[in-house]
Every structure is written in C-alpha cells, then in structure tokens.
Amino acid sequence: MTPHEVYPKSGAYILVISDLRVPGTAKRLLHELEAWRGHANVEAVDDDHVALIIRPGVAGRIAGQELLNKKGTA
C-alpha cells in the first residue's frame, strides 16, 4: 500500500477505475493523465485495473475549464 504521506488526509480526491482489458483504455488514460497536468497519479489495482487519482485544488479548476470547453464544442 502507498504510505499515507503520499496522499494526505486533507481534501477530497477523484478516483477513476479503468479496466485495461477494454480496447483503447490505456491510451485514454494517458490522455487523462496528461490533461490533469501533474495533478493526478495512476496506481495499479490489479493486473487488469488501474486507478487514476486526481488531487484537489488546481485539478478542480482544470476540470471546470475542460467542461466549459466541451460544452462549447458539443
């Protein structure tokens, strides 16, 4: 398990579990990780699943901007 110092108890996290057996998942995960600009980590859950852990703060502002950008293109 990851030491608690890596993920402090303060604040909330967004946790996204991905199934790597689904075609295209790994590529999408890499895009998401890049989009969060250093405010997220990926950890293996088991051989087929990973967790994208998004940290609070700036990540929330990035997510809000991404949603606004998507609304403008939909």
Mean pLDDT to the nearest integer, 28-49: 90
Cα dihedral across residues 9, 4, 61, 66: positive or negative? negative
Residue 74 pLDDT exceeds 50:
no
Band of residue 8 on the pLDDT scale cut at 50, 70, 90: low
- Residue 44 contacts by C-beta under 8 Å, 6 or more apart in sequence? 50, 51
- Break the chain into its structural domains and give their ranges: 14-73
Tell me, what's the pLDDT at 26?
92
Q: For the chain, give the secondary structure using H, E and C.
A: CCCCCCCCCCCCCEEEEEECCCCCHHHHHHHHHHHCCCCEEEEECCCCEEEEEECCCHHHHHHHHHHHHHHHHC
